[in-house]
């Protein structure tokens, strides 16, 4: 194979199509589910694709646009119900499925597009018994939207990220009583507009600085104990309250799924929890690229598709021998108020006209300027009315301005 894409979600689909557009001959997608599309297939709500298609599509509509793209390319090989169990540094992929058994696939380039995974109960340490009825928001979403199964009658949601908010509305429409959303932080994790259209529209209360401290019930969930927390997020004694419920929905964050990347010893960024990537989204192993939520959790699928395309163009160039693989890297480092930046490093010989950068701020700020500095000179200056940690910022750097510079590039968000 020329390129094997691991994962058939939005990043993998965009990567495979883009690789074909750049005349890569043998492209294969390996997907563990029964169909392509990834998590988008269970995201039936609208709001996807505003950047790319100029309208608010549902997740499945967005996915289908790309699946049609893959199907219209004649020879993209799609292996469904196939799981990759190991990838070696020399780009040998070990995968298996029911019909073909174990497979050993050799590929000249690989694009990792495994997406991300939800944090579970054991990662947020909730005390108590282990009854059924404690599920992640994504699991509940899949049960309701694809399998037509309602996992409870009365729900408590822990975590106020967007998935939790979307599920509050979804469960309410399905007749599940949502008792409330509990958030350990003192500000909501999700976007204000989702709080408005998912909670306020349906009179669902949100309790900040409050968390679930205990789970009750033997076989089936019977209830949870909630408590307010202090500044250090420690439960305050005397504020405990028992709430009867048969469903606890955990919306407590996402982490890039990098078991395969770690196994092949790709360098991981502790801040993004994904592979460190360069301007082509190539990882620390030559010819192995990464795209989408496996790199960092993006909040718009449009960006996920975009990174899939960048990685595919990079891989196509790599196959042709058009990538500079020997020059030293220049780092892109976070300055004031910036939490992390993707890509983390660049080889400027490989840059096109524009370099897109993706980053998040550490705290909400109003009336700010995003500033890029290199060797004491500004290469980026862009004003924003408001910046929020849940909203990823995307800027483009004009490569003309950095092409004769050799030091690192610093991105800061400054008030004013």
Q: Is 363 in the site for another protein (CB under 8 A)?
A: no
Contact between 55 and another protein per CB under 8 A? no
DSSP 153: S
Judged by beta carbon, residue 163 or residue 288, the one nearer another protein is 163
- The yes or no reply on residue 46 touching another protein (CB under 8 A) is yes
Is residue 248 part of the contact set for another protein (CB under 8 A)?
A: no
Given candidates 367, 386, 403, 414, which one binds another protein under the rule CB under 8 A? 386
- Pick between residue 68 and residue 352 the one whose CB is nearest to another protein: 68
Query: CA 334, CA 410: separation in Å to the nearest integer?
Result: 6
d(CA 285, CA 242): 51
The minimum distance between CB 264 and another protein, in angstroms, equals 33
Residue selected from 54, 101, 148, 321 as contacting another protein according to rule CB under 8 A: 148
Maximum distance among all Cα pairs of the chain, rounded to whole angstroms? 67
Cα four-point dihedral sign 4, 292, 286, 270: negative
Are 177 and 156 within 8 A, CB to CB?
no
* Sites for another protein among residues 177-216 (CB under 8 A): 191-193, 195-197, 200-201
Q: Which of 146, 236, 325, 415 binds another protein (CB under 8 A)?
A: 146
Helix pair 301-320, 59-72: axis angle to 10 deg = 20
Distance CA 355, CA 344 (A): 12
Q: Pick one of 4, 19, 28, 63: the residue that binds another protein (CB under 8 A).
A: 63
Question: Judged by CB, which is closer to another protein: 65, or 284?
Answer: 65
Nearest approach in angstroms of CB 266 to another protein is 32
Inter-residue contact 247 to 155 (CB < 8 Å): yes
Is residue 262 within 8 Å of residue 213, measured between CB atoms?
A: no
Count how many Cα atoms sit within 13 Å of the Cα of residue 315 in the half-sphere of its side chain. 38
> Would you say 179 and 172 are in contact if contact means Cβ atoms under 8 Å apart?
no
Which region, judged by CB under 8 A, interacts with another protein, from 17-25, 37-45, 83-91, 203-211?
Answer: 37-45
Stretch that binds another protein, among 14-22, 61-69, 211-219, 375-383 (CB under 8 A): 61-69
Is residue 60 a contact residue for another protein (CB under 8 A)? yes
| Token pair 């993998």: residue | 12
Q: Whole-angstrom Cα distance, residue 136 to residue 367?
A: 36
> How many binding residues for another protein (CB under 8 A)?
33
53 in contact with another protein (CB under 8 A): no
Report the b/e string of 296-312 with b at 16+ CB within 10 A.
Answer: bbbbbbbbbbbbbbbbb
- Applying CB under 8 A, which of residues 125, 173, 353, 376 lies at the interface with another protein? 173
**Span near another protein by CB under 8 A; candidates 129-137, 329-337, 356-364, 385-393:** 385-393
Residues that bind another protein (CB under 8 A): 34-35, 41, 44-46, 56-58, 60-61, 63-64, 144-149, 173-174, 191-193, 195-197, 200-201, 385-386, 388, 391
């Amino acid at each position: 194979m020329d390129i094997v894409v691991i994962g058939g979600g939005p990043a993998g689909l965009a990567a495979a199509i883009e690789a074909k557009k750049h005349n890569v001959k043998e492209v294969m997608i390996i997907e563990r589910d029964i169909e392509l599309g990834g998590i988008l297939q269970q995201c039936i709500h609208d709001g996807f694709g505003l950047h790319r298609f100029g309208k608010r599509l549902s997740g499945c509509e967005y996915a289908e646009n790309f699946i049609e793209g893959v199907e219209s390319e004649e020879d993209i090989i799609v292996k469904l119900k196939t799981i990759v169990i190991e990838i070696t540094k020399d780009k040998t992929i070990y995968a298996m499925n029911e019909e073909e058994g174990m497979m050993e696939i050799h590929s000249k380039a690989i694009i990792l597009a495994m997406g991300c995974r939800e944090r579970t109960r054991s990662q947020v340490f909730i005390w108590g018994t282990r009854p059924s009825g404690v599920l992640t928001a994504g699991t509940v979403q899949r049960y309701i939207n694809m399998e037509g199964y309602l996992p409870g009658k009365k729900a408590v949601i822990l975590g106020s990220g967007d998935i939790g908010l979307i599920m509050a509305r979804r469960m309410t429409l399905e007749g599940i009583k949502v008792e409330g959303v509990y958030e350990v932080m003192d500000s909501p994790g999700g976007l204000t507009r989702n709080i408005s259209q998912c909670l306020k529209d349906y009179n669902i209360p949100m309790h900040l600085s409050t968390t679930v401290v205990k789970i009750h019930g033997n076989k089936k969930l019977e209830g949870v104990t909630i408590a307010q927390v202090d500044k250090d997020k420690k439960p305050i004694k005397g504020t405990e309250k028992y709430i009867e419920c048969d469903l606890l929905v955990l919306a407590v964050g996402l982490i890039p799924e990098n078991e395969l990347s770690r196994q092949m010893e790709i360098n991981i960024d502790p801040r993004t929890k994904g592979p460190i990537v360069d301007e082509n989204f190539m990882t620390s192993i030559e010819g192995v690229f990464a795209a989408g939520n496996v790199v960092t959790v993006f909040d718009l699928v449009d960006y996920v598709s975009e990174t899939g395309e960048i990685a595919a163009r990079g891989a196509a160039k790599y196959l042709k021998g058009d990538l500079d693989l020997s020059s030293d890297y220049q780092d892109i480092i976070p300055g004031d108020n910036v939490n992390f930046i993707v890509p983390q490093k660049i080889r400027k010989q490989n840059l096109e006209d524009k370099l897109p950068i993706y980053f998040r701020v550490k705290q909400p700020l109003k009336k700010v300027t995003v500033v890029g500095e290199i060797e004491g000179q500004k290469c980026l200056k862009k004003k924003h009315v408001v910046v929020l940690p849940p909203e990823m910022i995307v800027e483009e750097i004009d490569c003309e301005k950095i092409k004769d510079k050799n030091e690192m590039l610093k991105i800061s968000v400054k008030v004013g």
